[in-house]
Amino acid sequence: MSTVTHTDTPAVYWETEPHHHPEGGSTRLGFWIYLMSDCLMFAVLFAVFAVVGQSYAAGPGPKALFDLNLIAINTGFLLVSSITFGFAMLAMYEGRQARMQIWLAVTLLLGLAFLALEIYEFHHLIELGAGPQRSAFLSAFFALVGTHGLHVLFGCIWLVTLMVQINQKGLIPANTRRMECLSMFWHFLDVIWIGVFTFVYLLGMI
Amino acid sequence: MSQHSIKPHGHNEQSHDSTGHDHGSYRSYLTGFVLAAILTIIPFAVVMSGGFDSRVLTAVTVIGFAVVQVLVHMVYFLHMNTRSDEGWTMLSMIFTIIVVVIMIAGSVWVMFNLNTNMMPSMDHESFQGFGS
């Protein structure tokens, strides 16, 4: 058979079916774009702090209020929690669920310790009469640091939810995907904290 | 969906999946952590020991360390690379950085000019410590 055979099926010039993507394949990129928009929101809060951060209204300034030892400890909590979350992710990719849960629990404890110290700091400032209504500087400070703290709080709630879900349903692809999103969220919060401790605390204390 | 549908990844240096996502390894996380810890401790130590004689030099040093630390976190913890999601991750981040820089630099610049042009000149030093 050396002749070229023509098949009867017509040539297809376009695809009638949309491209098939694996389920949840675009979740990571979508979540990343959410994080970038979150980043813009933090940028606005940083800009507000940069503009009014010197407006003390004859009230207390950073040097009278901040305790760098406390901030250093809090920074340590967040930094260590970043690596413990990383270890949880590695344990997950290895399929070792129990090990992953232990690392997640350690991460959660560090997150809660961070929140406890931050609440202590806020409470201390408000008791001193340096609440958010004292000056533009303090309003901007509470808005910026408080928003970051709220993010950490929601991260902790999400972490507990995922730990329960993984306990019940195991490391199904949906849970793996959720873990990847939370991992990005957690590391992103650590990046924002670098900006906070640099621009709010360290530069304020110079 | 089976319970154990996650393929085990080895301890090899860098593991990637089909979309170019990088999972990292114990070594890469530890490297990132040590770098981040050093980059945190130095600026804290500089400021807590009173800083350099020049305030500007201290500020520039602290900001410089922060920028490097953000890059370390991006590479070692967030596993940023140019391949994941066909480069869209990197592209959206570059776009965000441009918007953030325009917004922060623009706000500071405009408001600084507004303050110096609108405010009556006032000796701020005399207010230092008042009520604090």
A72: chain B residues, CB-CB within 8 Å: 44, 48
Token readout for A67 is 């305790």
Asked if B52 and B46 touch (Cβ cutoff 8 Å), the reply is yes
DSSP code string of A130-141? --TTS-HHHHHH
Could you tell me the maximum CA-CA distance found in chain A, to the nearest angstrom? 97
pLDDT digits (tens, 9 = 90+) for A81-108: 999 999 999 999 999 999 999 999 999 9
Can you list the positions of beta strands (E) in B3-101? none
| Prediction ipTM score | 0.86
pLDDT tens figures, A180-200: 999 999 999 999 999 999 999
CB contact under 8 A, B29 and A87: yes
For A4-8, A26-30, B21-25, B50-54, which range has the lowest pLDDT when averaged over its residues? A4-8
**Given CB atoms, is B9 within the 8 Å cutoff of chain A?**
yes
Task: Say whether A94 and B100 touch across the interface (CB within 8 A).
Answer: no
Average pLDDT, chain A: 92
- Reported for A43-48, long-range contacts at CB under 8 A and 24+ positions apart, including other chains, are A43/B99, A43/B100, A43/B103, A43/B104, A44/B103, A45/A140, A45/A143, A45/A144, A45/A147, A46/A144, A46/A195, A46/A199, A46/B104, A47/B103, A47/B104, A47/B107, A47/B108, A48/A140, A48/A143, A48/A144, A48/B107
Burial class from Cβ neighbours inside 10 Å (0-12, 13-18, 19+) for residue A158 reads: middle
- Domain layout of chain A by residue ranges: 66-205
pLDDT score, position B20 = 65
How many CB pairs below 8 Å do chains A and B form together? Answer: 153
Instruction: For residue B68, give the chain A residue with the closest CA.
Output: A194
The whole-angstrom separation of Cα A176 and Cα A41 is 28
The CATH homologous superfamily for domain A66-205 is Cytochrome c oxidase, subunit III, four-helix bundle (1.20.120.80)
Residues in B touching A92 (Cβ below 8 Å): 6
CA distance A36 to A67: 31
Least CB-CB distance to B108: which of A51, A95, A176?
Answer: A51
| Residue A65 · residue A125 · CB < 8 Å | yes
The pLDDT tens digits for B84-126 are 888 899 999 999 999 999 999 999 999 988 888 876 665 555 5
